[in-house]
Amino acid sequence: MPRTTKNSPRQDVHTVAKLAKVSIATVSRVINHKPSVDPAIADRVWKAIKKLNYHPNYGARAMVSGRSHMLGLLVSRITNPFFPELIEGFEQIASINGFEIMISAVGQQPGYGQEAVRRMLSRNVEGAAIMTHGMSAADLEEFKIYGTPLVFIDAAPAPDLGSVVQLDYENGIRDAVQHLAVLGHRRIWFISGPLDRCSSTLRQQAFIKAMEEIGVLNAAAQCIAGDHTLEGAIRAADILFQKAPTAVICSNDLTAVSVLRKAAEKKLQVPSQLSVIGFDDIDLAKFVSPPLTTVSVDRYRLAQAAFHSLMQRLADPQTLPPLQLLPVRLVVRQSTSYAPSAAQELPPL
């Protein structure tokens, strides 16, 4: 049997102990940087570890210590511009802190959410971050039973299920509205996301409130339902253009991109005839024409905030941190400018 490439077998503490002429307990102490080890001996052990190319077996460690250093990450299947950066951010901050993440994309199939939860429980996750709206309270029931700390991005399906990290939609949308107001706009419309989703309704509510603040009281009538997709936004844009708006705020950038495209088709100049504002600041926002004025969201910070919230719960399981609001920031590019005939539009202030 010509088996030339003999793979070195996985080494364990015993092999290391033997080579370093110490007990396995000492090896363990060295690996875990316990102070109570003679430096000379520790050195011998490290040398043996290097020589043998030994890696501690985290599974075994998790079993005895009761800590898996695994975190669950539940994301949605929806094509979401946040997705990559959210995962990346979470993964990075987690790995820096010695945690591993286990991802599960919960999709359309009902019951898959529970399935994902069970799998995570079987892997002993110490906590989980829920970055999707596809998880019901029922799906998360088992996490609750075991007291697994949970953190939700945007909104929890039920109170007390876990901590929540949310974007500061209210200030973000207000900034957008006021930016337009200063430019003389009053006939500002809003294209929302899917209204069965908390993050969408929050943005729409923020819009209505901000409009009231600038003296427009019927703003609810100036909301058109979109669904945060390029496709849905095309339909919403068709409705929009019948309304003769001077400006439109879109619940996300994808929507704004479609509005821009429709406007180009209709030979409507942006921003001189129509100002457009997006939300998210996806990569593409800088590269559409004209470059999109939008409310910028730091996905990376969002992921970090979620991670830290989880760490806090792990350290102190009794205390549920309050809703955390992450700042957003209006980035003015070239899709917004003065309202056409600003003078007439302006109500007496």
Partner DNA sequence: ATGAAAGCGCTAACAG
Partner DNA sequence: CTGTTAGCGCTTTCAT
* Residue whose CB is less far from a copy of itself, 87 or 176: 87
- 153: enclosing H helix or E strand: strand 150-153
User: Quick one: residue 72, left, alpha or beta (phi over 0 = left, psi -120 to 50 = alpha)?
Assistant: beta
Handedness of CA 283, 287, 291, 292 (dihedral sign): negative
Dihedral over alpha carbons 214, 216, 222, 225 (to 10 degrees): 50
Strand 293-296 with 329-331, pairing? antiparallel
Residues of this chain, 225-254, that bind a copy of itself according to CB under 8 A: 230-231, 234
| Residue 163 touching DNA (CB under 7 A) | no
Min separation Cβ 32 and DNA, Å: 5
- Of positions 39, 147, 159, 348, contacts a copy of itself by CB under 8 A: 147
**Binding to DNA in span 1-60, by CB under 7 A:** 10, 12-14, 21-29, 31-32, 35-38, 40-42, 54, 56-57, 60
Nearer to a copy of itself (CB atom), residue 12 or residue 345: 12
- Residue by residue, DSSP assigns 275-291 as EEEEEE--GGGGGSSSP
Q: Is 221 helix (H, G, I), strand (E, B) or coil?
A: helix
**Burial zone of 301 (CB within 10 Å; 0-12 exposed, 13-18 middle, 19+ buried):** middle
Q: Report the residue number, 38 or 231, with the smaller CB distance to DNA.
A: 38
Among residue numbers 54 through 93, which ones bind DNA (CB under 7 A)? 54, 56-57, 60-61, 63-65
Axis crossing angle, helix 13-20 with helix 39-52, rounded to the nearest 10: 120
Within residues 19-58, the interface with a copy of itself by CB under 8 A covers 53, 55-58
**Binding-site ranges for a copy of itself (CB under 8 A):** 5, 7-8, 10, 53, 55-60, 62-63, 68, 77, 79-80, 83-85, 87-88, 91-92, 95, 100-105, 107, 116, 118-119, 121-124, 142, 145-147, 230-231, 234, 257-258, 261, 264-265, 283-284, 286-289
**Binding-site ranges for DNA (CB under 7 A):** 10, 12-14, 21-29, 31-32, 35-38, 40-42, 54, 56-57, 60-61, 63-65
